Structures are given as C-alpha cells and as structure tokens.
Amino acid sequence: MPNIIVVGAQWGDEGKGKIIDVLSKDSDYVVRYQGGNNAGHTVVVGEREFVLHLIPSGILHRGKVCVIGNGVVVDPEALWNEIIELRKKGIKVNEDNLMVSDEVHIIFPYHKAIERLKEDRRGSSKIGSTGRGIGPCYTDKADRCGIRLADLFEKDMLYEKLKANLKEKNEIFRKIYNFKGFSFKELYDQYLNYGKRLKRYACNCSIILNDCIAKGKSILFEGAQGTLLDMDHGTYPFVTSSNATAGGACTGTGVSPNKIDSVIGVVKAYTTRVGEGPFPTEFPPDLMEQIRNKGKEFGATTGRPRRCGWFDAVIVSHSIRVNGLDSIAVTKIDVLDDSNTIKICVAYKYKGKLCENFPGDINILNNCEPIYEVYPGWLEDTSSVQRYEDLPLNARRYLKRLSTILKTKISIVSVGSKRTQTFYNNI
Ligand code: GDP
Ligand code: IMO
Ligand code: MG
C-alpha cells in the first residue's frame, strides 16, 4: 500500500472520516497533519457511530498506529476526553496505537476566549468559527509565543512561557475587551497535569514516520477541513487557520513530498458548508430543507445546520490543481436519489463575463451567478448498490459527467455511511 494523502476538496465534511476508515485497513499508520478539534469526522462501524475530532479515523481498526502530527493544534482536555470516550466504547487507545508529536501547539482557554470575543466584535462579518480556539492558537504559533506539548513536561519552561503569555493576554482582555482574564496558578497546575497524562503518547513524528517508510510500511495522511477552508487557497477570510491542502501533510508531519505516492480528494455529490462566507451554488430554501434532511447535514462538531448547494465544479477543479489530486472519492450519491433534476455548476458569470477559474477576489464569489448544466435525476434507491455498473443509468451519467468536467478519475464511490456502502472504481 502506498503513502496516500486524503484531503477534502470542498468546504469540509465531505466524508473524509468514512473514506479514511475504509482505506485504513490496508495502511499501517494513519496521521492527522493540521487543524484541531474543530474537525468532526464521523465513522459508522456496523450499527455504531463514532465522531472523531482529533484522533485519526484509523483508530477504529485494530493494529493501526495513529499519529497526531506536529501541524495539529491540540486542546489537551478535548484529546483526553476523546481517548476516554473511545475506551468507554471498547476501542483500545494506548501508547501502542496513539502517538502525539511533542511539537504540537497547545490550545489554552485564553485562545477560546479571545476567539469568542473577536467573533462577537465582528458582528455581521463574523467567520462562524467552531469556537475551539484554533485560530488564536495558530496565531501564537506564528507569533513564536506558542506553547508546545514538550513544554508541558518541563515545569520551568511552562512557568516561564505561560507567565509571559498570560501577562500580555490578560492585559489585552482587560483593556480591550473588558474581560477579567485568567489566573496563572490555575492554568499552570491544570496544564502541568495534562502534561503528565499525555507524556506517554509523545513522539517525534518525523522520525517515527520516516522510519516507518524506510521499513516499507505505509501511511495514510488524514486531512481535516477542506481545500476551500485552507488558509491560503480557500475563501479567505472565511477559512480555518491551517493548510488543509496536500502540502500541509508534509509540513505538518515532517515527511518529504517525494515520499508521497498519491493524493485522493473527497467530494460530496453536492456541496455543503458550515459557517459564514461565499457559496455560489447554495440552494433556495425548499431544496435546502430536502437535502439537509436527507443528507443529515448538521455539523458533527457544533451541531449547526450545514448550508447545502449544487456540486460546484469550479471549486473542485481548483482543489484538483492545488492538491494535485490523482483521483476523487465521491460520497453521498444516495442523498440525491429523490431529486428530479440535478445541476452541476461549470462556471460563474460576473459583470457579464464568464469566469471558469476559481477567483482570488472574494467579491466575485459573493456576487457571481453560477452557470449550470442540468441533468435528469435517477429517482431510484442507490444505497444498496455495490458496483458502478449497477447504479441507475442517470447516476452513472452524472458521475461520468463529473469526471469529464473535472478531468479526473473517480476511484471510490460511496452510497451510504456504512463501510459496506462503498465501492472502488475507475470512472
Ligand atoms: P468529514 O468531516 O469529511 O469526515 O465528514 P463528516 O463526518 O463531518 O460528514 C459526513 C457525514 O456523511 C457523516 O455523517 C458520514 O457518516 C456521512 N456519510 C459519509 N458517506 C456517506 C454516503 O455516501 N451517504 C450518506 N448518506 N452518508 C454518508
Ligand atoms: P471537518 O474536518 C466543516 C469551518 C467553520 C468556520 C471556519 C473556521 O469535519 O471537515 P475554525 O473553528 O477553524 O476557526 O472555523 O471553518 N470549519 C469546518 N467546516 N468541516 C470542518 O472540519 C470544519 N472545521 C472548521 O465552520 O466556517
Ligand atoms: Mg466533519
């Protein structure tokens, strides 16, 4: 099995968790490389549903090693709770199958507080953040005042860094936000304690993974969020604060690009997004309701209703280029089973001009008119289909058309949330 990066090619929630879970059985290591517990990856095993936020989706397969790479930001309380919850459900999680880079940056309560206060101030131009403190933690990382997992193991180091951080942050809280701030002693004791609990999981991610490659073992890199939420290549500023795209897998783990064999993008058969920001193919209210209910489109992390719309080939073509996608996995075909007509957006019209490439200017995305191709639906239940050949004719035509427009092969098709509702392909 080669080393594969799996990325979201839309605005997140494409079904990465499910695809990672399916591919995990043929991989030795599964690694998260960016983001934090803003992610919510749902995996269904038999009749049981698991929602993973920080721990790679490979954890549900025995014998796989899961690694949280240096590019991830970790809320230790959230990580600890996730470990405990999995154990309660009978999943083995210990230092044999979970490792955390000692270079991950740590989320503190002041990150969550400042995020909330900033979002409140933004008013109608808010980002719609999940409120997990992700952005402020990455801000500290870039500002070179961040606190990393290894710092939690060193009393004096944590003392010095936390003291300096809190001094400045509490001043900002009080002077700008009229908020009392945080007590040093409480946070210091609490985070030293997290350090003690998490020490056994700490690793040097780059060494572990490069050793594994040298031994001929294989790695699955699990992207969180999606390309359009990438800090550089997404719909900035309505993005997350990390590189969700394929390049992030290398910087976020210490594995070189020449060790990567393939990149797979996950797309939904339509589009969704949670939070604010432009969404050219967003449905009108009646269709929104229908697809949201059929697709159970509610956020796995915050429970917010997801905004839904038609498949947007302009954004997915952008994802294919930015990530160098070798193939795509198309999920949730079954959600379109009851649709009379199905649309694919192939370009945007802006001020009378046709725009076929994803624009950097967010004004264009906000004010463009999507240009659609319209196809008849298949009006048949696809949820038990096991082979491409057995899909209804119009479903095959839809997939074929997507593949032609995107100039990319479809390697996996998913028709339900279960492992068995998946088939490999070569469309
Ligand atoms: P992720 O963040 O990319 O891992 O995606 P989420 O887990 O947040 O959202 C995808 C949702 O769709 C989950 O509830 C999955 O169980 C579900 N799902 C995945 N593939 C399919 C599919 O082919 N059909 C249906 N109906 N549900 C799916
Ligand atoms: P998975 O991995 C969908 C969105 C938020 C918000 C923006 C910034 O499950 O696909 P942040 O908390 O990062 O400051 O939020 O990004 N967002 C996601 N949307 N799926 C996700 O993860 C997301 N993670 C963040 O809704 O619009
Ligand atoms: Mg999700």
Domain total for the chain? Answer: 3
Task: Give yes or no: residues 246 and 339 share one domain.
Answer: no
Alpha carbon dihedral 245, 68, 130, 234, in 10-degree steps, equals -10
Q: Considering the entire predicted model, what is its pTM?
A: 0.97
pLDDT of residue 302: 87
Which residues approach ligand 2 with their CB closer than 6 A?
8, 12-13, 38-41, 127-130, 132, 134-135, 224-226, 229, 240, 274-275, 300
Residue 415 Cβ contacting ligand 1 at under 6 Å: yes
Task: Give yes or no: residues 10 and 35 share one domain.
Answer: yes
The residue from 198, 216, 231 where one domain ends is 198
Task: Give yes or no: residues 317 and 359 share one domain.
Answer: yes
Who contacts 263 (Cβ-Cβ below 8 Å, separation ≥6)?
4, 5, 6, 7, 246, 323, 324, 325, 326
Catalytic: 13?
A: yes
Task: Give yes or no: residues 406 and 299 share one domain.
Answer: yes
pLDDT of residue 426: 79
Task: Give yes or no: residues 346 and 250 share one domain.
Answer: no
Q: Which CATH number goes with the domain that contains 85?
A: 3.40.440.10
| Straight-line distance from the first to the last Cα atom of the chain, in angstroms, rounded to the nearest whole number | 21
- Give the distance (Å) from ligand 2 centre to CA of residue 130: 6
pLDDT of residue 301: 85
Task: Give yes or no: residues 121 and 149 share one domain.
Answer: yes
Taking a C-beta distance cutoff of 8 angstroms, is the pair 222, 263 a contact? Answer: no
Task: Give yes or no: residues 171 and 237 share one domain.
Answer: no
Q: Residue 286: is it exposed, middle or buried by C-beta count within 10 angstroms (0-12/13-18/19+)?
A: exposed
pLDDT of residue 343: 98
For residue 189, the enclosing domain spans: 105-198
Burial of 169-205, coded b for 16+ CB within 10 Å and e otherwise, reads bbeebeeebebebbeeeebbeebbebbeebeebbbbb
HSE-up (13 A, CA, CB side) for residue 15:
33
The residue from 180, 198, 216 where one domain ends is 198
- Give the distance (Å) from ligand 3 centre to CA of residue 14: 7
Parallel, antiparallel, or unpaired for β 369-376 and 341-350?
antiparallel
pLDDT of residue 300: 85
- Give the distance (Å) from ligand 3 centre to CA of residue 49: 13
Residue 14 Cβ contacting ligand 1 at under 6 Å: yes
Question: How far from the centroid of its chain's Cα atoms is residue 344's Cα?
Answer: 23
Taking a C-beta distance cutoff of 8 angstroms, is the pair 414, 384 a contact? Answer: no
| Cis previous bond, 237, omega within 30 | yes
Task: Give yes or no: residues 415 and 308 share one domain.
Answer: yes
Task: Give yes or no: residues 71 and 143 share one domain.
Answer: no
User: Catalytic one among 13, 75, 140, 312?
Assistant: 13
CA distance 86 to 200: 18
Catalytic: 111?
A: no
- Give the distance (Å) from ligand 1 centre to CA of residue 201: 29
pLDDT of residue 371: 98
Backbone torsion region of residue 80, taken as left when φ is above 0, otherwise alpha when ψ lies between -120 and 50, otherwise beta: alpha
Rounded to a whole number of angstroms, the CA Rg of the chain reads 22
Taking a C-beta distance cutoff of 8 angstroms, is the pair 274, 306 a contact? Answer: yes
- Ligand nearest to the backbone CA of 42: 1
- Distance set, CA 351 to CA 340, 363, 368, 369, 370 (Å): 31, 11, 8, 9, 12
pLDDT in tens, the chain (427 residues): 799 999 999 999 999 999 999 999 999 999 999 999 999 999 999 999 999 999 999 999 999 999 999 999 999 999 999 999 999 999 999 999 999 999 999 999 999 999 999 999 998 899 999 999 999 999 999 999 999 999 999 999 999 999 999 999 999 999 999 999 999 999 999 999 999 999 999 999 999 999 999 999 999 999 999 999 999 999 999 999 999 999 999 999 999 999 999 999 999 999 999 999 999 999 999 999 999 999 999 998 889 999 999 999 999 999 999 999 999 999 999 999 999 999 999 999 999 999 999 999 999 999 999 999 999 999 999 999 999 999 999 999 999 999 999 999 999 999 999 999 999 987 7
The residue from 198, 218, 243 where one domain ends is 198
Task: Give yes or no: residues 124 and 250 share one domain.
Answer: no
> In the block, which residue shows the tokens 């993005």?
239
Q: Which CATH number goes with the domain that contains 412?
A: 3.90.170.10
pLDDT of residue 263: 98
Task: Give yes or no: residues 405 and 329 share one domain.
Answer: yes
Q: Residue 96: is it exposed, middle or buried by C-beta count within 10 angstroms (0-12/13-18/19+)?
A: exposed
User: Catalytic one among 21, 41, 53, 318?
Assistant: 41
Q: Which atom of ligand 2 is nearest to the CA of 129?
A: 15
Task: Give yes or no: residues 194 and 207 share one domain.
Answer: no
Residue 225 Cβ contacting ligand 1 at under 6 Å: no
Q: Which CATH number goes with the domain that contains 165?
A: 1.10.300.10
Write the single-letter amino acid at 205.
C
